[in-house]
Amino acid sequence: MKRSQSSFCALLCFLALSCTHGSAPSNMPQAQPRKEASDDPFELIIDDITPFIQKGYRTAERTPDDIDIIVIHSNNFLGVDSFSTEGCLQQFEAANVSPHYMITREGIVIQMVKEKDIAWHAGESILPGTDRRALNASSIGIEIVNTQSEEPTPHQYKALLELCQQLTQKWGIRYIVRHSDIAPDRKTDPWLLDWDQFEHDLKERVSEDLLFPRR
């Protein structure tokens, strides 16, 4: 795994926050896409922009006793370029919400909120098969950038698997759920993600004891 505080992603974040404070710098560097060679081993790349996110979460000091859920979402920019990273950041900022992580079409993971902090991503929610509600406090949220007509890319799928494996082993995660499972009257995402295959692949990597409760 490779972690960085990418200047590119930092500037994307500044762009999101600049919508009410003027324009972003004109010399913004360009993101370097992943190599597409099929024989290249996959490396999880995490760009940490947490120092630049000011909204959509509250600070906390959560421990593994507090966190036992991962919630998977889909998100896209409601503009010309559906997959625009800066566009997605603008939307999160405007709505005062945030996931902990967002996975770009290239499979690069952008960390927006520290795992120990509480991100506002789940909204009104209930864990299937239980009476547990308001799941932000006990969960980590991951957004996949895709649309209802365009499925996650292979790089996104690999990044999601690797990230979920690491988070599960680090925090002792017990439940993996879709946004639509915890808010079925409001949400339909994640879109076009083969959930049966994802459950099989993640259990194979981590443990058959992982729970995937569904609506």
Catalytic residue positions? 143
87 and 79 Cβ atoms separated by less than 8 Å: yes
The DSSP call for residue 90 is H
The whole-angstrom separation of Cα 171 and Cα 69 is 9
Beta-strand (E) ranges in the chain? Answer: 2-4, 45-48, 57-58, 69-75, 101-103, 109-111, 118-119, 139-145, 175-178
Kindly report the backbone phi and psi dihedral angles of residue 139, in degrees, each rounded to the nearest multiple of 5, phi listed first. -135, 165
The whole-angstrom separation of Cα 168 and Cα 154 is 21
Residue that has been written with the tokens 């979402």 in this structure: 73
Q: Residue 20 class from Cβ within 10 Å (0-12 exposed, 13-18 middle, 19+ buried)?
A: exposed
The whole-angstrom separation of Cα 167 and Cα 111 is 13
Listing DSSP states for 58-75 in one string gives: E-----TTT--EEEEEEE
16 and 93 Cβ atoms separated by less than 8 Å: yes
